[in-house]
Structure 1
Amino acid sequence: MIESVPCCSFMCFRQWDLETLNNETIERETLLSSISINTAAEQDDTAQNIIVPNRRTASVSRVSISEDAAATLSFHDINYFIGSKIKPSKHRLKLPSLPCLKSQEYKQILFNISGRFSNGMNAILGPTGCGKSSLLDILADRKDRHGLSGRVLVDGLPRHPSFKYIVGYVVQEDIFTGTLTVRENLLFSANLRLSKTVSTLEKNARVSRIITELGLESCADTRMGTDFLRGVSGGEKKRTCIGMELVLSPKILFLDEPTTGECVYHGPINDIETYFSTLGYQCKLHDNPTDFVLDILIDANRTPETLAKLNDEYKQSSMHIEVLARAQQENNTENQELLQSTIVVEAAQALRTEIFYVSQRTLRNALRNPAMALAQVVVSIMIGFLVGLVFYDLKKTTDPGIQDRLGTIFFIVVNQIFSSMSAIEPLLQERVLFLHEYTSGYYRIQTFFIAKLVCDLFPMRAIPSVLFSAIAYFMTGLARTSGQFFVFLVTIFMACVFGSATCFFISTLTTTFCEILLLSSLF
């Protein structure tokens, strides 16, 4: 089940009573497993991923869970490859100066991994780059199935397609809306992800309880902070991200490096020193046992012989035999039905409710960060006067009056379309936020784009269009009738909307501002 490869990571599974995340003790469960993970990185820094199965009831996005739902997660023969088997030298032009044309190297990241997580706290320890996050993504059903093989079972049954919506996942990066306060971010998660049967009063009470449990009372009404706005501390940001998942009371909670920015309590690990002492590794007096284990792991990464020895010793241990036996017993279960008995698929919120809360956040974000909207208004006024001065009081004769008017209208329409490129940056900035929230089941795809388009219309398109039209139309000497003026105004507004929608579309095709500008020029 476990092969010897250049790097070996250890997973320590510990029982933890996770009621508030502020526990004072961590009990060691009699389960220690080593897994074989391929990596090219041999750095000395370490990271920690935690999976916390929780027995509390959850009724969350698109699913509701039964009262007696258990929480056991097992995985069997997990192999994961990245890259392409196609060799670029045979199927592509040899252009070493253009690395973007080269295919990613075909590489195996995870090697035949099996294990079992029972109720409680389970930690995966290992050096940076060894595949901890990849394994966590696979267990949480957030990895593309291309290049992935193996089985993941929940309570001995295959995962339901809605599995990703009933679990919490705290990613490495702190993902939130910086202009909102701690409380507002938590309420946003609760309003969209909790069942519509949960009242507003209950949601507010749950958010207040989580704020208290995570020690966020002093900063509950403080904005999170952006690149230009100082907000809460790094540890408070991480706890807020954890709280946004805890509002679900999820059946399983995945945390990728949750101790970043936090003061970590190191609990006792009773038998780990004895285990490694039998292999010839003695923990010095006053050394932390966890640091001791990681030091062994890092040294093993540099010495294939040591790595092979640790793997062989572990394969022969009773601990390894017990882990594989329990995992294999679940894998061989004859009941292969999905979790229909404990999971009922249902819509968490109506589409209009999702649009309301996402639009509310978008408008609140715009009001608290008005620089873009103000710049759009100021530029529209300046361009309006510039157009009015260049094409001031056009002649009403057939020649050159008609030609001058055609040139004026063409210039105005093109200018208004290009002024809509201001829609690119906000969408680029919120790409990571959108992907995380959509994957976590906050809302539908159309919800996000409808809310963005609607909230972009009034402050960024409608107001600038009115100001520009009022200045440029009358200065250029076009027909001064109310009907023709409103036709002109609607035309300018629709040109702005077209440009904005085009920018939204192009922003979904690539991830860099430069590429979006180049693609925009084609339209």
Structure 2
Amino acid sequence: MDNQEVSVDVEAPIDKTNDDRSLPFSIFKKANNPVTLKFENLVYTVKLEDPNGCFRTNHKTEERTILKGLTGFVKPGEILAMLGPSGSGKTSLLTALGGRLGEGKGKLTGNISYNNKPLSKAVKRTTGFVTQDDALYPHLTVTETLVFTALLRLPNSFKKQEKINQAKAVMTELGLDRCKDTIIGGPFLRGVSGGERKRVSIGQEILINPSLLFLDEPTSGLDSTTAQKIVSILWELARGGRTVVTTIHQPSSRLFYMFDKLLLLSEGNPIYFGLGSNAMDYFASGGYSPSVERINPSDFLLDIANGIGSDESQRPEALKAALVELYKTHLLDNVITDLEGQDDLSNKPIENPHVETNHFGEWPTTWWQQFCVLLQRGLKQRRHDSFSGIKIAQIFIVSILCGLLWWQTKLSRLQDQIGLLFFMSSFWAFFPLFQQIFTFPQERAMLQKERSSGMYRLSPYFMSRVVGDLPMELILPCCFVLITYFMAGLNHHPANFFLTLLVLLVHVLVSGGLGLALGALVMDQKSATTLGSVIMLTFLLAGGYYVQHVPVFISWIKYVSIGYYTYKLLILGQYTANELYPCGDDGKLKCHVGDFEGIKNIGFHSGLVSALALAVMLVGYRVIAYLALMRIGKTKSG
């Protein structure tokens, strides 16, 4: 694949050549590396911090056990459905089996093996994981979403056109051709339907022809017909030799009997593991039968998992304990025996010849390819937001209003001129800060999903975000300066104009970098906004305009203030210390600008130091943001 070819022609026709990989890809073909997944005695505990603990003298950290000794297995060609009430541990188990438990979030004991071997990068790159919340970019179309995923996830043993062909073939086989040019949409943006969103999420994962496929409640929020289509797709994928594991909340009776194996959970305890078709007979043999003859099996199983049985006098806690004991005495030994017999694939290495043996090592594509694809995808996704009519109108209105308020201010109105300079530094501190502070909190789910899949390195993602935001960050400030500067009658000399513009652009980039850093550190939009407001207001108050005689014990704030250095450089860009301006009541007296009360404390010295300080902040804030992002997508399994 040519590293310079970065454009994505999503409308290109499928190229049919004699190369088999160029033929339309079938999502139902055989998996390359069948995987038997086994888990033994899994126990998962997390620490719960008391939110009021910092105000209490007996601050304690409570430990809660989410998974309580789970054992089971699933073979290629089978679908394992994990059923249970909300909070029973289904998602935690699925996340653990998929190797996506975040570092520091809890302690997992027990053993999980893939063909009797621990989780490796080879396994992870042949694993698909579909999250419940469908983390997708709302402004991309279905075709763009799948094509960009193919360009990032498929290795360079595929040519670029082959990757596009495979994305289109997946789209066709999932029945997405009808909505291929429709945007994904979101809560406040109309796009594809819920079932189509779910099929797009599944399509992203099966592009790599995974041997293992994990899905978290793929039918949640869908009508029965759409849910049937989704499960039918999973059934066909499993029959191709894949191992499919899914959580499901309350399937219909039609869906229930499409699952090969069933794991029923109650408060983290297993109360049934085995064939789904045998579940009702198992509980009937233990004396637990539904009170009515015709009932959806999943309804009955969820009732007893919640502790609700036919005997209304029995307490829920007692019923749950009895079901756990029944499982341990009548079923657990059989599960362990069957698990130990699954050794037929124990010596087979898990390798994807298109992923692990390509000459780029552990990543499917090069750094430059990842950067180019991510940059193009980011520009397509954010083009509607970056240059929205509201933002453009806001800048033009403010710039024209400033030009009218400070209309042709002469040097005799020096106080008004420096007031305009300080306003420019203030406005262009807050505007980019609040534009950038939401960047990473809004993309956290997407970044975590894609990084956990090993789709790309963090550095090309970060650099694509920084570079992709430059047009928005720089074009609007330029328009502001072009309008306001000449309307306000500031120094018309070209050198002064371009120096003022340069200082303001650097100031915008530094403020945006602070927003990126705060967003990456806090990862909560409300908290980051509050913290950003407090920090920026502190910087502005110490900027040298409002308070000129700051007490010594707090004067150090100005040395970390973005506004202080920007205000100083803006003044240096307009005036010289020995420049004369009309002063006195009649304006006939001439005074030095350097002696003006509002400028004297700022001074005309240390201009180089101020420029260097902004340069350090320009780089430093982005380094902080990058380091903060390194924790996103990390998993215990690597």
TM-score (norm 2): 0.64
Maintained 8 Å contact 1:83/1:103: no
Partner of 2:484: 472
Maintained 8 Å contact 2:378/2:468: yes
Match of 2:366 among 308, 332, 350: 350
2:31 is aligned with 1:56: yes
Mean Cα displacement is larger for which, 407-416 or 132-141? Answer: 407-416
Partner of 1:360: 376
Match of 1:251 among 211, 214, 225: 211
Maintained 8 Å contact 2:115/2:346: no
Match of 2:535, SS? coil
Map Cα deviations across residues 195-225 of structure 1 (whole Å, 9 max, x no partner): 1221223222222222222222211221111
Aligned partners of 1:272, 1:461: CA distance in 2, in Å? 60
2:179 is aligned with 1:222: no
- Change in Cα spacing, 1:334 to 1:282, as seen in structure 2 (3 Å) is closer
Counterparts of 1:446-457 in structure 2 under 5 Å?
446-457=459-470
Match of 2:98 among 140, 145, 148: 140
Match of 1:157, SS? coil
Counterparts of 1:85-164 in structure 2 under 5 Å?
92-94=54-56, 105-119=62-76, 120-144=78-102, 146-161=106-121, 163-164=123-124
Mean Cα displacement is larger for which, 337-346 or 162-171? Answer: 337-346
Partner of 1:70: 34
Partner of 2:134: 174
Match of 2:151, SS? helix
2:200 is aligned with 1:240: yes
Counterparts of 1:366-405 in structure 2 under 5 Å?
366-367=382-383, 369-370=384-385, 373-396=388-411, 401=414, 404-405=416-417
Maintained 8 Å contact 1:159/1:338: no
Maintained 8 Å contact 1:192/1:354: yes
Count of residue pairs the alignment pairs up? 447
Maintained 8 Å contact 2:39/2:112: yes
Aligned partners of 1:259, 1:518: CA distance in 2, in Å? 38
Aligned partners of 1:429, 1:414: CA distance in 2, in Å? 25
Partner of 1:296: 304
- Give the superposition deviation at 1:161: 4.7
Maintained 8 Å contact 2:122/2:352: no
Aligned partners of 2:386, 2:350: CA distance in 1, in Å? 49
In structure 2, runs of 5+ residues without a counterpart are 1-25, 229-253, 259-275, 310-314, 537-638
- Change in Cα spacing, 1:55 to 1:78, as seen in structure 2 (3 Å) is farther
Match of 2:400, SS? helix
Identity %, equivalent residues: 29
Aligned partners of 1:192, 1:240: CA distance in 2, in Å? 16
Specify which structure has the bigger relative contact order, considering alpha-carbon pairs within 8 angstroms and separated by 6 or more residues. 1
Match of 2:448 among 432, 435, 443: 435
- Give the superposition deviation at 1:78: 1.4
> Larger Cα Rg: Structure 1 or Structure 2?
2
Maintained 8 Å contact 2:117/2:346: no
Amino acid in the other structure paired with 1:78:
L
Maintained 8 Å contact 1:88/1:103: no
Match of 1:509, SS? helix
Maintained 8 Å contact 1:78/1:111: yes
- Change in Cα spacing, 1:20 to 1:330, as seen in structure 2 (3 Å) is closer
Partner of 1:506: 518
Amino acid in the other structure paired with 2:298:
T
Aligned partners of 1:299, 1:242: CA distance in 2, in Å? 34
Maintained 8 Å contact 1:178/1:224: yes
Partner of 1:35: none
Stretches of 4+ aligned residues off by more than 6 angstroms: 86-89, 337-342
Match of 2:208, SS? coil
2:259 is aligned with 1:279: no
Match of 2:513, SS? helix
Match of 2:469, SS? helix
Amino acid in the other structure paired with 1:131:
G
In structure 1, runs of 5+ residues without a counterpart are 1-18, 22-53, 58-68, 97-101
Map Cα deviations across residues 132-168 of structure 1 (whole Å, 9 max, x no partner): 0001111111113542222211110111156444311
Maintained 8 Å contact 1:355/1:448: yes
Aligned partners of 2:120, 2:370: CA distance in 1, in Å? 24
Match of 1:299, SS? coil
Amino acid in the other structure paired with 1:232:
V
Maintained 8 Å contact 1:158/1:339: no
Aligned partners of 2:99, 2:45: CA distance in 1, in Å? 16
- Change in Cα spacing, 1:162 to 1:410, as seen in structure 2 (3 Å) is farther
Partner of 1:82: 46
Mean Cα displacement is larger for which, 133-142 or 294-303? Answer: 294-303
Partner of 1:492: 504
Match of 2:139, SS? coil
Amino acid in the other structure paired with 2:215:
L
Partner of 1:38: none
- Give the superposition deviation at 1:372: 5.3
Amino acid in the other structure paired with 2:34:
A
Amino acid in the other structure paired with 1:390:
L
TM-score (norm 1): 0.77
Amino acid in the other structure paired with 2:407:
Y
- Give the superposition deviation at 1:415: 1.6
Maintained 8 Å contact 1:79/1:110: yes
- Give the superposition deviation at 1:389: 3.0
Partner of 2:436: 423
Maintained 8 Å contact 2:122/2:351: no
Aligned partners of 2:194, 2:365: CA distance in 1, in Å? 32
Map Cα deviations across residues 17-71 of structure 1 (whole Å, 9 max, x no partner): xx868xxxxxxxxxxxxxxxxxxxxxxxxxxxxxxxx9612xxxxxxxxxxx330
Q: CA RMSD in A?
A: 3.2
